[in-house]
Chain A
Amino acid sequence: MTNEAAAAADTSGKTPVIELRNVSKTFGEVRSLSGVDFKVYPGEIVGLLGDNGAGKSTLVKTIMGYHRPDPGGEIYFEGQRIHDWSVARARALGIETVYQERALSEKQPIWRNMFMGREPRTKWGLLDVTKMRSESARLMNEHMGFTSAAVHPDNVVMTMSGGEKQGVAITRALYFNAELVVLDEPTMGLSLTETRKTLDFVEGIKKAGKSAIFIDHNIFHVYPVVDRLYVLDRGKVAGVFNKSEISMDDLIARLYRVARSGSMDEEKAAS
């Protein structure tokens, strides 16, 4: 069944934006990922589900180049095998992430956070601080609709609320016209309206023909917006589903099963 779903996706004939083949990641004696195969096609929203410790964040950080896969694992971007995968490389190719921990620099003003790691420069090679400030102000107001007094580009991030911080992290991923946006638990700790805004943002990615990987504990957030779903369990891919082939109830039942038994199929779980 796992293979069927993967095959179904393959028949589209498109080259995946990103593909991981046989990726494992070991930290000391802990194996966080083992032999993971993972693909995202252009214009596709892929959901990533799994319990705490299933390896979701490790997978995301491997995709982003923060973790280097163990020898034997391969990473392909638009069909090209990439050997020197790094965060800077991944971002240069158009992969952006909204991290669970937000990856902000709390003591820095918004404009420094907005352009972290890819600061614009003038023709003299110096930082274009004017642009950083004005662009940050525009983005915060136009895209995230911030109205609060705290959201001046010169305000330091630690004075902002949780939702506002998330706004900075999301706007930062959105602004740079990413081909693939990774959202790692983006709705965690957000209010209802903020959550709505975040889910609208995911829909917006799809409308723009871009791809996304969406990770969330809340299956009711994930299921409606995704095209395909990966279920991770103890570092392994326990199942891949096209959304058209599985109902939400069925998916929930399988998730319970995998959490208890480590297998998604009824027969194996029963035996």
Chain B
Amino acid sequence: MTTQVIPRPQDNRVAPPSFLRRYGSQLGIIGVGLAMWLGFVAAAPRVFLDIDIYKAFAETTPLFGLIALALTFVVITGEIDLSFPSIMALGTAVFCLMIKADMPQWLALVAGLATGAACGWVNGALVSRLNIPSLVITIGTQFLYRGIELVLMNGTGVPLTPDKYPVLTAVFTSHPFGVPIETLWTVLLAAVLWILLNRTRFGAHVFLVGDNPTSARLMGVNAVRVKTLAFMLVGVMAVFAGLMTSFVGYYFWPTTGDGFLLNSIASVFLGGTSVFGGTGSVIGTLVASYIIGAINAGIVSAGINAFYTQLCFGLVIVISVVLQTIIERRIRRQSIGGR
């Protein structure tokens, strides 16, 4: 290595990746969202220019959106969790049983959330320690957790009335400053999870494990711990959303969680999180969950047959996953051709 100083073009060596490449997928989602909104406004101006429809979105979207935020972590690690609808129910059931056993409400709340963490730990441990494909094992645990819940509750529901739970009703469903608290929770928790994903070691390791697990392990990243924690995060968030869903409806149904699966998963993939793991965004999921919520309400309000919602979801998932794959292939192909 000689000490000869060769002048280098100073400006070209720090050329950042283009704005479009860095934020392309996020811009795409926002674009899709805007286009759809304009479409709905055109189709049903009376509904979509009224504030009430937005209040309705803001109350219902968080129920599946919150879980989608946590699920983003699991998907980035290259895994999936299909058992969260059952965890929603099981955690809430534990809450109800603790109340029935005359425990204080705060303790019941902690026990419910801890149940979610435990269910997540089981999922994570089976996936990361035994290397079982998460797609398969979480179908299994989905039935397992639902089964435990149905047995515990004997298939019966529990009323959760505001007069018995004044504090928890205010926590999960109220309107501070005229804004539905469900959405305030979602924005707050999205901010917390953004920091967790982008500004902590755990978050950094989530990306590394999902990108290339062998490399991550070679560099000393504890992949088992990272994946287990990601699944536990989904578990806790599922119970939180399960309690919210129950308090919104003033009643805990043993079937709580049914119908949430597709909405949450669609939000994660529409939000630009890669199906192959390694990349993803909390903000993308947040925006996408509201788009999914809007599809639900919008189709009905626009006077289209509700059967079209399924069709619409299907299209959204398929198109977003195909687009992601094409974008990633383009980047890779450029690298093969010498950049």
Contact = CB atoms under 8 A, between A and B. Distances in A.
Interface of A: 61, 64-66, 86-88, 90-91, 97, 99, 101-108, 112, 116-119, 121, 125-127, 129, 137, 141, 146-152, 154-156, 158-161, 197, 200, 204
Given A116-B215, A121-B201, A127-B199, 14 more contacts: A64-B218, A66-B218, A104-B215, A105-B278, A108-B207, A108-B211, A117-B219, A146-B13, A152-B17, A158-B331, A159-B17, A159-B335, A160-B339, A161-B339
Nearest to B22: A154
B303 interface: no
A66 B1 CA distance: 33
Interface string B188-224: 0000000100111101100110011011111111100
A103 B219 contact: yes
B42 to A, nearest CB: 39
A105 B208 contact: yes
A158 B204 CA distance: 18
Contacts, number: 114
B215 A200 contact: no
A152 B217 contact: no
Contacts of B164: none
Given A105-B278, A112-B207, A156-B17, A88 B12 contact: no
A104 B17 CA distance: 19
Contacts of A105: 207-208, 211-212, 215-216, 278
Contacts of B15: 149, 152
Nearest to B9: A147
A159 B219 contact: no
Contact of B1 (A99, A161, A200): A200
B17 A87 contact: no
B328 to A, nearest CB: 8
B279 interface: yes
A154 B17 contact: yes
B221 A107 contact: no
A238 B204 CA distance: 42
A15 to B, nearest CB: 24
B46 interface: no
A91 to B, nearest CB: 5
